[in-house]
Amino acid sequence: MRSTFGGLETTLRAIQAQRLALDLTGHNIANTDTPGYSRQVARTSATAPYCVPTMNRNTVAGQIGTGVEIDAIERMRDEFLDRQLQYENSSLGWWTTRQSGLEQLEVIFQEPSETGLAAQLNNFWSLLQDLSVRPDDANVRTPVLETAENLADTIRHTYHQLENFQKNLDQEARVLVERINSLATKIAQLNKEIVQVVGVGQNPNDLLDERELLVQELSELTDINVQTNALNSMTVSIGGTLLVSGDNTYHLRTVDDATTGFAGIVTTINGSAVDVRRGKLASTLELRDVDVNYYKDSLDSFTRTLIDEFNAVHSSGYGLNDDVSRDFFGGDSARNITVLITNPRDIAASSVPGSEGNGLNAIELARIIKDTPHATTNNATLSSFYGAMIAKLGVDADKADTALTNQTMLVNHLFNRQQSVAGVSLDEEMANMIKFQHSYNAAARMMTTIDETLDRIINGMGIVGR
Distance of CA 240 to the CA centre of its chain: 20
Determine the 3-state secondary structure of 227 from DSSP.
strand
* Percentage of residues of the chain with pLDDT beyond 90: 68
378: CB partners within 8 A, 6+ apart: 385
Q: What is the pLDDT of residue 271?
A: 87
Same structural domain for residues 134 and 155?
yes
| Structure confidence by residue, pLDDT tens digits, 314-339 | 998 988 887 667 899 999 999 999 99
Q: How does DSSP classify residue 311?
A: H
Instruction: Tell me whether residue 285 is in a domain.
Output: yes
Instruction: Tell me whether residue 38 is in a domain.
Output: yes
Instruction: Tell me whether residue 416 is in a domain.
Output: no
Are 18 and 26 in contact by the 8 Å Cβ rule? The answer is no
Greater confidence (53 vs 448) lies with 448
Same structural domain for residues 52 and 110?
no
Band the pLDDT of 60: cuts 50, 70, 90: low
Q: What is the pLDDT of residue 360?
A: 92
Residue type, 234: M
Same structural domain for residues 355 and 382?
yes
Same structural domain for residues 449 and 394?
no
Window from 182-191, 232-241, 265-274, 349-358 with minimum mean pLDDT: 349-358
Q: Is the pLDDT of residue 6 over 90?
A: no
How far apart, in whole angstroms, are the C-alpha atoms of residue 183 and residue 233? Answer: 15
Same structural domain for residues 428 and 372?
no
Averaged over 386-410, what is the pLDDT? Answer: 95
Q: Is the pLDDT of residue 465 over 60?
A: no
From residue 48, alpha-carbon distances to 5, 10, 52 in Å are 17, 11, 8
Q: What is the pLDDT of residue 176?
A: 96
Instruction: Tell me whether residue 466 is in a domain.
Output: no
Beta strands in 348-391 (DSSP E): none
Are 176 and 94 in contact by the 8 Å Cβ rule? The answer is no
How far apart, in whole angstroms, are the C-alpha atoms of residue 111 and residue 100? Answer: 17
Instruction: Tell me whether residue 351 is in a domain.
Output: yes
Q: What is the pLDDT of residue 85?
A: 93
Same structural domain for residues 61 and 97?
no
Q: What is the pLDDT of residue 100?
A: 96
* pTM confidence score: 0.86
Same structural domain for residues 438 and 380?
no
- State the average pLDDT for the chain: 90
Greater confidence (44 vs 406) lies with 406
Same structural domain for residues 63 and 172?
no
Same structural domain for residues 27 and 89?
no
Q: Residue 15's domain spans which residues?
A: 6-76+424-460
Instruction: Tell me whether residue 419 is in a domain.
Output: no
How far apart, in whole angstroms, are the C-alpha atoms of residue 320 and residue 423? Answer: 81
Band the pLDDT of 363: cuts 50, 70, 90: very high
Q: What is the pLDDT of residue 466?
A: 53
Neighbouring C-beta atoms of residue 55, cutoff 10 Å: 4
Band the pLDDT of 357: cuts 50, 70, 90: confident
Q: Is the pLDDT of residue 166 over 90?
A: yes
Band the pLDDT of 138: cuts 50, 70, 90: confident
Of 377, 392, 388, nearest to 105 (Cα)?
Answer: 392
Instruction: Tell me whether residue 415 is in a domain.
Output: no
Structural domains of the chain, count:
2
Averaged over 417-428, what is the pLDDT? Answer: 91
| Structure confidence by residue, pLDDT tens digits, 89-118 | 999 999 999 999 999 999 999 888 888 899
SS3 annotation, 143-198: HHHHHHHHHHHHHHHHHHHHHHHHHHHHHHHHHHHHHHHHHHHHHHHHHHHHHHHH
| Structure confidence by residue, pLDDT tens digits, 192-213 | 999 999 988 888 999 999 999 9
From residue 450, alpha-carbon distances to 185, 342, 443, 458 in Å are 55, 110, 11, 12
* Percentage of residues of the chain with pLDDT beyond 70: 95
Q: Is the pLDDT of residue 56 over 70?
A: no
Same structural domain for residues 371 and 442?
no
What's the half-sphere exposure (Cβ side, CA atoms, 13 Å) at 439?
A: 19
Same structural domain for residues 70 and 170?
no
Q: What is the pLDDT of residue 458?
A: 77
Band the pLDDT of 353: cuts 50, 70, 90: confident
Helix/strand number for the chain, H first, E second = 10, 10
Are 278 and 92 in contact by the 8 Å Cβ rule? The answer is no
Q: What is the pLDDT of residue 59?
A: 57
Q: Could you tell me which residues are beta bridge partners of residue 329?
A: 339
Determine the 3-state secondary structure of 304 from DSSP.
helix
Determine the 3-state secondary structure of 339 from DSSP.
strand
Determine the 3-state secondary structure of 45 from DSSP.
strand
How far apart, in whole angstroms, are the C-alpha atoms of residue 281 and residue 299? Answer: 26
Same structural domain for residues 27 and 143?
no
Instruction: Tell me whether residue 215 is in a domain.
Output: yes
